[in-house]
Amino acid sequence: MSLALNTTRRLRLGHVDLSLIPLGLAGLFLAMLVLLPLGWLLAYTVTDESGALSWTNVVELADTSLFLEPFITTFGIALGVASLACLLAVPLAWLVARTDVPARRLLRGLVMVSFITPPFIGAVAWVLLAAPNSGLLNQYYRGITGAGTFDYLFNIFSAAGIIFVMASYAFPYVFVLAANTLDRMPHDLEEASAILGGGRWHTFRRVTLPMVLPALLAGFIIAFLQAMTQFGTPAILALPAGFHVLTTKIWSLFQFPPKAHLAAACAMPLLLVTIFLLRLEKTLLGRRGYTMVGGKSGSPQLAKLGVWRWPALLLALLLLFVTVLLPNLVLVRASMLRSVSDPWTLETITWANVPLVFGLSNTVGVLKNTLVTGVVSATLGTAFAVLIAYLTARRAVPGHQVLGFLATAPAAIPGIVLGVALFIAYTRPPFQLYGTLWILLLAFLTIEMPPAYQQMQAAFRGLNPELEDASRILGAGRMKSLAKVVAPLLKTSVAATWCFVFIGAIRELSATILLTTSNTKLVSVLIYDLNEGGALGGIAVLGLVLMAVTAVVVLIANRVAHVGVMPDGR
């Protein structure tokens, strides 16, 4: 971690700075956000139903079908997802960042589209595409090859199917990380190697790879963590195949009669593995620092692909078509069919799915809940991230390190674990929030705080504090300087963070599934309900509406923030 030591100035405590009070409250709130649920989680792990101290929950983890089997399955799937995601993302990132492949902007844009698709909608889309018998791809396969009625090419209800679907929604994260590293990597070292006679392969192996490797491993870990902690995709694909992963098992412990103590115990290992992997990631990424000693270099020389330019583009487009566009296309198709395996003809096209979904008298309310919690989480989360990032980047208050730690700590809490913890913490006095949108707001704030904070901190680091100092010397208070000087300069980053939190809230299902009631249902949970009822056409309608609304909100947010200024193009 590089710290800009020379650019900070400690707050003079000679006079009482009133802004310290809200800052203190912010710290307290952050602490509560993390510590209260985790405290309860720990308490539940080591107690039984009567509240007495007991190790039975932990001992029960030795039961293979309860814990070990799902744990091993989860581990295997996560390894597969991380490997596949890297395999897809890294070559693509290299193409886009370091070669002269055409349409590089389009390729980056397409990867971003996949962020808008929540993975659980993607999982349903892949059921439509690759269920062994009714899946469209298998139908085409039989049509083309003349294979038998029950022959199939793909079976999405399998570990391999799950790995594929999860990897297609995890690889954008790896891609962003890898592409950013490749973008920023100083190319003089590579050039030096070339000048000294190193061949292309030698340079790649001895210079480029060691520089990219930490980012690669970090990407691997992120994909691994995503796969390990996701609920929606395995619930939609693994349960029909007859097996559990850890998240679905924890969720199943909440079915009647709910076993919250056992669920807490099952969540603990997930928490510990996540903490361990994040430490590892930090260590790996921390090592990257010394490669940057050379300082800023010009933009890297793009590798000339020559005759391979167009085939490379075609391959990249094909990859993005399969992972990003195809699932969305099949949703459009299914939204207009009564039975999703029907052929698409004038006779079979129907609007019946629309009244089915919106005939559920709470669908409009569910959409409203989703939008409200999304917008409020994004707004509060961004405001909070700005505040904390400001305090830590400027070292404005004593103890700012604690604030920074608290803001990043939730990254170690998987969604489903947080769901369990929040459920336990907020179904009792003094904060009886279950059944209100507040508990969802807390969940989203907690989950999205680390990335939001990290983004804002990076933005603050790039901002020279002299500007604020000038404002304060001229008589403005800290808050005024923040509002009038800092905020306008950070507009782009703020908008990006806002969108990130908003999309994160829309995509969330792991914690949400445990925290909603009929009155506080969100679209993600309604989609899950519809899936349990087998209403695939209805899911398609709702999923498309959700993505359209998300896209519009994100566009508006960008519009409001930029007013004419375009993002830096990438």
Partner 1 sequence: MEVTRRTVLAASTIMGFASAAQAQRPEPQPLAPDLVAAAKKDGKIGWYTADDLVLATKVAKAFEAKYGITVQLERSGAERIYQRIAQEYASNISEVDVATTSDVGHTVSWNANGWLTPFIPAEVTKWPAQAIGSNGLYIVDKFTLVTPGYNGRLVKAEDAPKSWNDLLDQKWKNKLVKAHPGYSGAITNETLALSRTLGWEFYEKLAKQGVLQVQSATDPPMRTAQGERAIMADGAENTSNRLIMEGAPLVLIYPPEGVPVVAVGSVVMKRSQRPNAAQLFMHYLVSPECQAINVANGARSFDPSVTEPANWTHLSKIKLLFNDPNDLAKEAEEIKKRYTKIFGV
Site for partner 1 (CB under 8 A): which residue of 50, 144, 146, 150?
A: 150
Tokens of 328: 């969305």
- Choose the binding region for partner 1 from 101-109, 241-249, 459-467, 483-491 (rule: CB under 8 A): 241-249
Q: Residue 517 interacts with partner 1 (CB under 8 A)?
A: yes
Among 11, 159, 241, 326, interactor with partner 1 by CB under 8 A: 241
Backbone angles phi, psi at 394, to 5 degrees: -95, 0
Other C-beta atoms lying within 10 Å of the C-beta of residue 469: 13
* Binding of residue 40 to partner 1 (CB under 8 A): no
Residue 47, phi then psi, degrees to nearest 5:
-130, 165
Helix 136-145 to helix 119-130 angle (10° resolution) is: 20
Concatenated DSSP letters of 375-430: HHHHHHHHHHHHHHHHHHHTT-STTHHHHHHHHHGGGGS-HHHHHHHHHHHTSSTT
Q: Number of residues in contact with partner 1, rule: CB under 8 A?
A: 47
φ and ψ at 510, to 5 degrees?
Answer: -60, -45
Query: Which residues between 161 and 200 bind partner 1 (CB under 8 A)?
Result: none
Describe the crossing of helices 523-532 and 232-241 by its angle, rounded to 10 degrees: 10
Q: Which of 375, 529, 545, 549 binds partner 1 (CB under 8 A)?
A: 529
Is 533 among the residues that bind partner 1 (CB under 8 A)? yes
Kindly state the smallest distance separating residue 252's Cβ from partner 1, in Å. Answer: 8
Q: Of 14-22, 37-45, 338-346, 370-378, which segment contacts partner 1 by CB under 8 A? A: 338-346
| Region 377-436 residues binding partner 1, contact defined as CB under 8 A | 427, 432, 434-435
CA–CA distance from 250 to each of 4, 157, 265, 550 (Å)? 43, 20, 9, 29
Q: Are 493 and 475 in contact (CB under 8 A)?
A: no
- As a whole number of angstroms, the distance between CA 299 and CA 297 comes to 6
Is residue 158 part of the contact set for partner 1 (CB under 8 A)? no
Question: Which CB, 141 or 243, lies closer to partner 1?
Answer: 243
If binding is defined by CB under 8 A, does position 63 make contact with partner 1? no
Give the x/- contact pattern for partner 1 in 434-453, rule: CB under 8 A: xx------------------
Determine which residue in the list 89, 277, 422, 530 makes contact with partner 1, applying CB under 8 A: 530
* Nearer to partner 1 (CB atom), residue 51 or residue 199: 51
Q: What is the CA radius of gyration of the chain?
A: 25
Rounded to whole angstroms, the Cα distance separating 189 from 199 reads 13
Report yes or no: 451 and 493 within 8 Å, Cβ to Cβ.
Answer: no
* 50 near partner 1 (CB under 8 A): no
Segment contacting partner 1 (CB under 8 A): 45-53, 413-421, 526-534, 541-549? 526-534
Q: Give residues 246-265 in contact with partner 1 (rule: CB under 8 A).
A: 248, 252, 254-258
Q: How far apart are CA 311 and CA 430, in angstroms?
A: 62
Q: Which amino acid is at 316?
A: A
- β-partners of residue 99 are 303
Among 47, 54, 134, 454, binds partner 1 (CB under 8 A): 134
Interacting positions 65-84 with partner 1 (CB under 8 A): 65
Q: Measured between alpha carbons, how far is residue 339 from residues 131, 318, 530 in Å?
A: 14, 28, 14
Please report how close the Cβ of residue 164 comes to partner 1 at its closest, in angstroms. Answer: 18
Residues that bind partner 1 (CB under 8 A): 65, 131-134, 149-150, 157, 238-244, 248, 252, 254-258, 338-341, 355-356, 359-362, 427, 432, 434-435, 517-519, 529-530, 532-536, 538
